[in-house]
Amino acid sequence: MPDGESSLVTVLMVLLPLMLLLLFVVFLIVLRISARLRRLERIWEETQPSPEEVAVQKRETQKLENSEYEEFLREDGKRSLLSKREQSAAFREWRRERGKTWNASDRSDT
């Protein structure tokens, strides 16, 4: 064997096991990261409210809003004769007068 070929074989004999070892270490790191990711996903799912809880909260908020709107219409029977656009504007004004809402100008002072 010429000297050039033997040095190439020696380099390959040294580099191939090193590359395999490096590949194995990278594989172990990926496995640990994926296990941690799964654990974080489990923790995140446990802290999220279930869809049923969100739906119940949304319905309760909607019922409260509907009851305020019904109260608004009951106070003055003429309001129900207004167009929907006029009713909405009057309802917003009614809520603002009672302090049940806020304006952007109110918050800009802080």
Helix ranges (H only) for the chain are: 3-47, 51-75, 84-97, 104-107
pLDDT one digit per residue (tens) for the chain, 110 residues:
566 688 888 988 999 999 999 999 999 999 999 999 999 999 998 888 776 666 666 666 666 666 888 888 888 888 888 898 998 899 888 888 887 776 555 554 44
In a domain, 110, yes or no: no
Distance of CA 61 to the CA centre of its chain: 20
**Is 88 a member of any domain?**
yes
103 is written with which tokens? 């304006």
Q: What is the pLDDT of residue 64?
A: 62
44 and 1 part of one domain? yes
Q: Are residues 43 and 57 in the same domain?
A: no
Residue 20 lies in a domain: yes
Range of the domain at 92: 51-101
Q: Which of 67, 73, 66 is nearest to 94 (CA)?
A: 73
Q: Is residue 83 part of a domain?
A: yes
Provide the 8-state DSSP code for 77. G
Q: Side-chain half-sphere of 75: how many Cα atoms within 13 Å?
A: 11
